Amino acid sequence: MRIKETAPSTWIWYPGDYELWLGNGMNNRRTERGAFFPPFWRTDSHYVTVEFSKKVFIYAPEPIEIAAEGRYNVKVDGKLQSGQPKSIILSRGPHQLNVKVYNQVTPPALYIRSKSVGTDGSWKVTAEDKEWIDQSGKVSDTSTTVYMNAGYWNFNTPEQRPSTFKLAMQPMEAVETKAVNDGQLVDFGQETFGYIRLHGLHGEGAVRIHYGESPEEATDKEHCETLDRIYCSQGYVTDLFTDTTIVIDDEYTLAGSKAFRYIYIEVSGSIRLDRISMVYEYLPETCRGTFRCSDEDINRIWQVAAHTMQLTTREFFIDGIKRDRWVWSGDAIQSYLMNYYLFFDLEAVKRTIRLLRGKDPVTSHVNTIMDYTFFWFISIGDYYMYSGDKAFIIQIYPSMKTMMDYVLSRTNENNMVEGMAGDWVFIDWADEKMDKKGEVAYEQLLLCRSLEAMVRCGGIAGDSEGVTEYAVMAADLRCKLQPAFWDKDKQAFVHNRINGKKSNTVTRYANIFAILFGYTGTTNEQAIRNSVLLNDNIMKITTPYMRFYELDALCLMEEHHQVIHDIKEYWGGMLAFGATSFWEKFNPKDIGTEHLAMYGRPYGKSLCHAWGASPLYLLGKHFLGVRPVKEGYSEFIVSPNLGGLEWVEGTVPTPRGDIHVYMDDHRIEVQTRLNNGYIIFSSSTKPEANKGPIESLGGQRYRLKIRHDIARPQQDGSPAVQYSDSHSAIPSKGKEEGVIEDSAQYNDSHSPILSKGKGEGVVIRISYTAIRIIF
Amino acid sequence: MRIKETAPSTWIWYPGDYELWLGNGMNNRRTERGAFFPPFWRTDSHYVTVEFSKKVFIYAPEPIEIAAEGRYNVKVDGKLQSGQPKSIILSRGPHQLNVKVYNQVTPPALYIRSKSVGTDGSWKVTAEDKEWIDQSGKVSDTSTTVYMNAGYWNFNTPEQRPSTFKLAMQPMEAVETKAVNDGQLVDFGQETFGYIRLHGLHGEGAVRIHYGESPEEATDKEHCETLDRIYCSQGYVTDLFTDTTIVIDDEYTLAGSKAFRYIYIEVSGSIRLDRISMVYEYLPETCRGTFRCSDEDINRIWQVAAHTMQLTTREFFIDGIKRDRWVWSGDAIQSYLMNYYLFFDLEAVKRTIRLLRGKDPVTSHVNTIMDYTFFWFISIGDYYMYSGDKAFIIQIYPSMKTMMDYVLSRTNENNMVEGMAGDWVFIDWADEKMDKKGEVAYEQLLLCRSLEAMVRCGGIAGDSEGVTEYAVMAADLRCKLQPAFWDKDKQAFVHNRINGKKSNTVTRYANIFAILFGYTGTTNEQAIRNSVLLNDNIMKITTPYMRFYELDALCLMEEHHQVIHDIKEYWGGMLAFGATSFWEKFNPKDIGTEHLAMYGRPYGKSLCHAWGASPLYLLGKHFLGVRPVKEGYSEFIVSPNLGGLEWVEGTVPTPRGDIHVYMDDHRIEVQTRLNNGYIIFSSSTKPEANKGPIESLGGQRYRLKIRHDIARPQQDGSPAVQYSDSHSAIPSKGKEEGVIEDSAQYNDSHSPILSKGKGEGVVIRISYTAIRIIF
């Protein structure tokens, strides 16, 4: 037995409940011109009474420290302890601990700590949806109680009560303040988020603050999307929205957080202000993923995308910071994928998946949107692939089943989905009117992929019966896609089928996803590229949302040059309009303030939208070329591609450590301590490597296996994937060797990455000759 | 258009949500020797975001006053208003009002008041389990939103916020305080409920309070069921259970409410107390129902039953006030039935039914008990019969369906129920071991009756498809009861059937309910009486819970003499042991403190248990003889019966007014303004009446119809059932005429009832001759 001060311990709760509660706070913070604007889907909440349970063994009598959020009781070996004990003594031997906590206001949570006992994810928890008591009136043993393993995050001390969680804060100064009309226009230099702070506020009257992602919005008092009003009188300041009044101090910080780059502020009466600053509010994240290349436009795009991602990664992955500030499933799945190449924050992914799901019964699609329900399923498949986190799959699987029950209860006679009353068939924001009726091809593809996710997750959760059913349904539906939607003449999937009649319209959506999901043979794939993806006559996509998938599909078809071109044109186009974060929608044909408008409102468009940041994903997955082949990168591919760039380099985070990649036209370097990978590349000459044999795959394709047998046997308890040359220096591009700082922020990463490598893992160097693409 | 100050208005919420929230507070107040003791079934909570909606017409511009519990927004004709407006002006014309309220802590609630608009039960409300928005991003009209009508109670001013609801309080003095051992034993004279108050508290040290329903319990510091501990130090007093500390004042009232007649109090250190009193806490109720008769024992039993009922009728109908203080369905259905003959508080019934149901999904039986699920269904049928409240049936019916889905998903191949994992098959507390396995006859009868309740409620809710299905299932099951459980030799229903094998054991339960539900032909009914009910060899019932049904069944078989005898013996037996409220269980064979013990604990038994009060129901229904024949007493019977008493008299409340009944051996008087009733009675001579013809029913049975055609046509807008002689004086038993005080409390009603009649309605006087029963 090891001597230790206390066992590791963390606050625990009913899995998902903290997330629902935290999400309710988040989703209910949206305002529209000073009015509260909650979501329009059902908002669930936490179970108010839960029981936590654990069997422990104590070697010598020891005191147990107990803290709970809520009213609670404690049973030791079935015996109820008096009062709400803050500590108890456990005697030597085995013990059964049960703690019930009731909390109407915030999720019931428990923290227990002692020398040998600590609350953690191994504790069982029940909301008592099942428990049997016998007729003697005593609660029976817990054999028929359905327990889950407890949820937790990172609240590791008794003082860090989960209900007191707050994002991090950082005071920031304005870049410029200038007089405009009767007020002041304040510029904070780039898109940001937080609370306006007024310094030296005194006098009597009103302060009117108008927020803008653009100067046009901030100064348009009648149409700006968000605003604040405070009134000062007799030494007190009152916030009109929150209806709170406090004494005027030298500093007054607005109660509500907002998104902005600019604010336009007017005061009335005798109000005077010395200065205006802000308090930046953010979720501290580390940019484990990095990217740099020879093209500074692309580098700037990556930086702005990372900034966009930082701003929209909060308690949850939200859509945009100005307007909705809500969690949307279709937006979130893209945030997750970008996150796998930037922060690799798995907790944020799990939180968001849980919040989106809510509780049973399922009475509508996720966010009311049919496609978003499917993206929810698919995102769990993605999560498993990137994280390898079986425990979460097992825990979420029962609610995947009830969600799928809902979906399947609404299929038509062809086992396909059609929009029914209450369903929103979204697809995409398009400038042209889009038909959403009947069997929309895109939706069937997503359903099919969702069923495949059920098969995969069901297997992990041990639901063999379900796996069989879902597999049959998925196969059946997949066989129906071609007959139902493929148009031989057009060599494309058509948009939809109504009452058995195939539509004449071709849109990009189903065709993109047929490629992404591998739902079409090679012949069709090339056909789709020519007849749809590279066909300018097919309605163009004007949201980064759908461009994400379009460019992903083009990369799968080795159109990397095209994708680099598109990224520079599309995202570069936003930068050319002064973007400091990426937008909800961008139509290069728009002019002037048309770029700011959406939903029929002059500033309705979000200028900081998570789905705008997809280059993070595209560059990491397809140019650094790193992706998992098996769950949690237990097997993976590094298939870097220059796409016409002179060199690319960067880091991709994984649950087993980072993968560093460098590529130029004659050298590929991969540094990693992961095992079971393949470096795949093309070369016009016979390549050479410092490690392991290079296999030819035919044509000009080559593969080098990152093999386990080159790893040194484990001796020190560290992960088994430590390589033999794990502490060697890493020369790269002639820069000095060094150590990566784990906490490197996205915006201070201006030096090549490999040069700052931690010196961990193997370095594989390949000499090769890039194949010149002739256009 | 009538000129009025403001429209009637009341606070509204999502139906059932306030009840869940209030019930969570209630159910989580149980303590056991100072430890918190929450329920062991799933605790649901309110929807945190709801939307209220109403179409209104305004004749002249008027201000609308708005108050909400929660953060809210207001839309007028789809246009979001700025901030959280406390008032808005509505212009002339039609308007659509929508208000969204978010409240994590207490149920979102709304109060709107103006000259012509007021929140009430006609407002629609949704938790947004369904809503469609179109792709322009604007919320559509509400056509696909599923709205319910709002829930409400009696919070009729903006200041009466629903979340601030408290029961009424009344300071009360002790009857006697005497020194016992090292402390003081305080007697409050009868069973009561509330908060102990300490006067002149000063000094330093502990105050230890031990509560007792008996002096034995209060003075047994080691075993009393409830206790309190406070510590005084340096001018502060700390409550050990709630962990709250306040400054010592002259008066200190304990934080937690308790049930007791006695308390035993000890102090330590330098603590001194002047005096101990209490604050009685109660739900104000009016005893509309009354009963008196020639037997003072019976009168005392009725009074103590009424006191028991008052104590257990709180925010909800609870089981007992000392121990569980929880809402249990099987207990509650009896409280409802007693309530129909005492308070006629329909709001309390609805609150309790809603709380017991909770929210979907159904994951266990109500209170985890199979029989209690069935009583939940049956209680709704009862409620409709006594109240005629269609609106509630329509509102609760969808959750009856999902509850029944759960039940039917667990039936066996015979479409019968058997206890499965997680089910508690309760039946009754019995002193002998009872078999709960297999197909328990009693449970099948309850299921059958539940299906019949579904048929009835489905008809009201317009679910014709469901009605057909449930009717078929009910009929099918009813046909199976006789073959499955009837034993020809024993002339009784046996207890259960296991694996197709009929048991040899006969218990009273199924036999009682076969009579109550009319599930047996007349021949069997008489057989059951002899072979089971009046057979001392069949295991006796020792709970008032099951005696309720046993005596109800005996009355249906005209065994009124026997029932009066049993009431005097059984309830009188408790009084003989000093009861001031009726008990959870009473076995006349117990001796001494055996009467206090239950669940293996010396004072485990509740001495104030709602189900102990059944004489209220039995005397009203079977001796005053008043019961509805059609919903809400739209048709009713008055069939009084002396059961060997010299005279009975009393009042039965109904939704259409009271029914007063007097009977002695030669005279029956009924006073009521209800229409469509029948007075049914037996007479050995030809009876005569002051109103209407008396029909002979054959034998010595007679019937007098209370007919609509004797009513005077309506002229003043008052109810159409006003009779021609509605304001005549009511002579009765030679007492002076007068007016009943509506607020007459149960414990000051010592004068005959009819003498205090309101003078409303018709008085029917029948001269007859009672039939002497010869034993």
Distance from CA of B486 to the nearest CA of A (A): 26
Tell me whether strands B244-247 and B236-239 are parallel, antiparallel or unpaired. antiparallel
Helices A508-516, A441-461: inter-axial angle, 10-degree rounding: 30
Q: Can you tell me the mean pLDDT for A553-574?
A: 97
Distance CA B582, CA B633 (A): 30
Q: Is the per-residue pLDDT at A541 higher than 80?
A: yes
Q: Which residue has the higher pLDDT, B1 or A56?
A: A56
The residue among A132, A221, A365, A418 with the most chain B CBs within 10 A of its CB, best to mutate, is: A132
Contacts of A269 by beta carbon, 8 Å cutoff, 6+ apart? A203, A204, A205, A206, A232
Nearest-by-Cβ selection for B139 from A40, A46, A104:
A40
Closest to A117 (Cα-Cα) out of A147, A88, A81, A151? A88
Residue A387 in 3-state DSSP? helix
What residue has token string 């309705």? A604
Query: How crowded is the C-beta side of A711, counted as CA atoms within 13 Å?
Result: 20
DSSP state of B598: B
Are B42 and A127 inside 8 Å of each other by CB?
A: yes
Are B84 and A243 inside 8 Å of each other by CB?
A: yes
Are B83 and A35 inside 8 Å of each other by CB?
A: yes
SS (H, E, C) B77-134: CCEECCCCCCEEEECCEEEEEEEEEECCCCCCEEEEECCCCECCCCCEEECCCCCCEC
Poorest-pLDDT segment among B3-7, B31-35, B128-132, B251-255: B128-132
Residue A764 in 3-state DSSP? strand
Are A424 and B21 inside 8 Å of each other by CB?
A: no
Task: Please compute Rg for chain B using Cα positions.
Answer: 28
Segment B473-511, tens digit of pLDDT = 999 999 999 999 999 999 999 999 999 999 999 999 999
- Per-residue confidence (pLDDT) for residue A210, from 0 to 100: 98
Torsion B387-B389-B394-B396 (CA) sign: negative
Are A84 and B36 inside 8 Å of each other by CB?
A: yes
Q: Can you tell me the mean pLDDT for B86-100?
A: 96
For B555, other C-beta atoms within 10 Å of its C-beta total 21
B422 CB neighbours in chain A (<8 A) are 130-132, 144
Closest to B27 (Cα-Cα) out of A605, A71, A177, A24? A71
Nearest-by-Cβ selection for A83 from B38, B240, B436:
B240
Q: Where residue B678 falls among pLDDT bands split at 50, 70, 90?
A: very high
Backbone angles phi, psi at A487, to 5 degrees: -110, 115
A129 CB neighbours in chain B (<8 A) are 42, 363-364
Peptide bond into A361 cis (omega under 30): yes
Are B32 and A80 inside 8 Å of each other by CB?
A: yes
Helices A441-461, A390-408: inter-axial angle, 10-degree rounding: 140
**8 A C-beta contact, residue A61 and residue A37:** no
Q: Can you tell me the mean pLDDT for B556-567?
A: 96
Are B130 and A363 inside 8 Å of each other by CB?
A: yes
Amino acid identity at A575: L
**8 A C-beta contact, residue A762 and residue A663:** no
Degrees, nearest 5: CA angle A255-A259-A265: 70
- Per-residue confidence (pLDDT) for residue B268, from 0 to 100: 96
Nearest-by-Cβ selection for A47 from B43, B241, B434:
B43
Q: Is the per-residue pLDDT at A56 higher than 70?
A: yes
**8 A C-beta contact, residue B40 and residue B32:** no
Distance CA B382, CA B350 (A): 12
Q: Where residue A715 falls among pLDDT bands split at 50, 70, 90?
A: very low
Q: Is the per-residue pLDDT at A717 higher than 50?
A: no
A144 CB neighbours in chain B (<8 A) are 421-422
What distance separates the 2 farthest-apart alpha carbons in chain B?
Answer: 85
**8 A C-beta contact, residue B286 and residue B273:** no
CA end-to-end distance (rounded Å), chain B: 69
- What rounded mean pLDDT belongs to chain B? 90
Distance from CA of B430 to the nearest CA of A (A): 9
What residue has token string 């069989």? A468
For B737, other C-beta atoms within 10 Å of its C-beta total 14
Are B40 and A229 inside 8 Å of each other by CB?
A: no
Peptide bond into A61 cis (omega under 30): no
Q: Please state the ipTM of this predicted complex.
A: 0.89
Token pair for A68: 């709970």
Are B28 and A71 inside 8 Å of each other by CB?
A: yes
The residue among B45, B210, B584 with the most chain A CBs within 10 A of its CB, best to mutate, is: B45
**8 A C-beta contact, residue B312 and residue B609:** yes
For A143, other C-beta atoms within 10 Å of its C-beta total 8
Distance from CA of A635 to the nearest CA of B (A): 41
Distance from CA of B145 to the nearest CA of A (A): 7
Closest to A545 (Cα-Cα) out of A610, A597, A493? A610
Distance CA A576, CA A589 (A): 13
Distance CA B562, CA A232 (A): 80
DSSP state of A162: G
Q: Which contiguous run of DSSP H or E holds residue B384?
A: helix B370-387
Residue spans of beta strands (DSSP E) within B216-320: 227-233, 236-239, 244-247, 251-253, 258-267, 275-282, 290-293
Are A47 and B47 inside 8 Å of each other by CB?
A: no
- Per-residue confidence (pLDDT) for residue A774, from 0 to 100: 61
The residue among B14, B36, B366 with the most chain A CBs within 10 A of its CB, best to mutate, is: B36
Closest to B62 (Cα-Cα) out of B109, B112, B120, B123? B112
Q: Is the per-residue pLDDT at A287 higher than 80?
A: yes
Segment B608-621, tens digit of pLDDT = 999 999 999 999 99
A132 CB neighbours in chain B (<8 A) are 368, 421-424
Task: Search chain B and give the residue with CA nearest A86.
Answer: B243
Token pair for A555: 């990369």
Distance CA B721, CA B713 (A): 9
**8 A C-beta contact, residue B71 and residue B99:** no
The residue among A135, A241, A373, A405 with the most chain B CBs within 10 A of its CB, best to mutate, is: A135
DSSP state of A714: P
B243 CB neighbours in chain A (<8 A) are 84
Segment A362-380, tens digit of pLDDT = 999 999 999 999 999 999 9
B585-596 as b/e, with b when 16 or more CB fall inside 10 Å?
A: bbeeebeeeebb
Task: Search chain B and give the residue with CA nearest A46.
Answer: B45
Closest to A206 (Cα-Cα) out of A174, A256, A240, A178? A240
- Per-residue confidence (pLDDT) for residue B189, from 0 to 100: 98
Nearest-by-Cβ selection for B34 from A35, A36, A83:
A83
- Per-residue confidence (pLDDT) for residue B469, from 0 to 100: 98
DSSP result, A739-753:
---TT--GGG--S-S
pTM: 0.90
Distance CA A622, CA A638 (A): 9
Distance from CA of B105 to the nearest CA of A (A): 5
Closest to B47 (Cα-Cα) out of B150, B183, B166, B120? B150
Are A368 and B133 inside 8 Å of each other by CB?
A: yes
Are B130 and A38 inside 8 Å of each other by CB?
A: no
Are A28 and B229 inside 8 Å of each other by CB?
A: no
- Per-residue confidence (pLDDT) for residue B525, from 0 to 100: 87
Q: Can you tell me the mean pLDDT for A632-644?
A: 97
For A692, other C-beta atoms within 10 Å of its C-beta total 15
Q: Which contiguous run of DSSP H or E holds residue B198?
A: strand B183-199
Backbone angles phi, psi at A190, to 5 degrees: -160, 165
- Per-residue confidence (pLDDT) for residue B759, from 0 to 100: 53
**8 A C-beta contact, residue B362 and residue B402:** yes
Segment B700-715, tens digit of pLDDT = 999 999 975 544 434 4
Backbone angles phi, psi at B443, to 5 degrees: -65, -35
**8 A C-beta contact, residue B283 and residue B313:** yes
- Cα dihedral: A361, A366, A370, A375 (round 10): -120
Q: Where residue A692 falls among pLDDT bands split at 50, 70, 90?
A: confident
The residue among A102, A141, A369, A437 with the most chain B CBs within 10 A of its CB, best to mutate, is: A102
Task: Search chain B and give the residue with CA nearest A127.
Answer: B42
B80 CB neighbours in chain A (<8 A) are 32-33, 35, 37
Are B42 and A37 inside 8 Å of each other by CB?
A: no
A32 CB neighbours in chain B (<8 A) are 80
Are B43 and A48 inside 8 Å of each other by CB?
A: yes
Distance CA A645, CA A699 (A): 23
Torsion B132-B133-B139-B140 (CA) sign: negative
The residue among A42, A69, A370, A598 with the most chain B CBs within 10 A of its CB, best to mutate, is: A42
**8 A C-beta contact, residue B550 and residue B533:** yes
Q: Where residue B691 falls among pLDDT bands split at 50, 70, 90?
A: confident
**8 A C-beta contact, residue A729 and residue A738:** no
Torsion A385-A370-B14-B7 (CA) sign: positive
A21 CB neighbours in chain B (<8 A) are 104
Token pair for B577: 């042991």
Q: Which contiguous run of DSSP H or E holds residue A236?
A: strand A236-239
**8 A C-beta contact, residue B722 and residue B712:** yes
Segment A414-466, tens digit of pLDDT = 999 999 988 999 999 988 889 999 999 999 999 999 999 999 999 999 999 99
The residue among A22, A44, A48 with the most chain B CBs within 10 A of its CB, best to mutate, is: A48
Nearest-by-Cβ selection for A131 from B33, B139, B368:
B368
Task: Search chain A and give the residue with CA nearest B33.
Answer: A82
- What is the percent of chain A where pLDDT is above 90? 83
Q: Ranked by mean pLDDT, which of A491-500, A706-715, A749-758, B422-431 comes out on top? A: A491-500
Q: Is the per-residue pLDDT at A775 higher than 90?
A: no
**8 A C-beta contact, residue B736 and residue B759:** no
Bridge partners of B609, per DSSP, are B320
Nearest-by-Cβ selection for B363 from A42, A129, A132:
A129
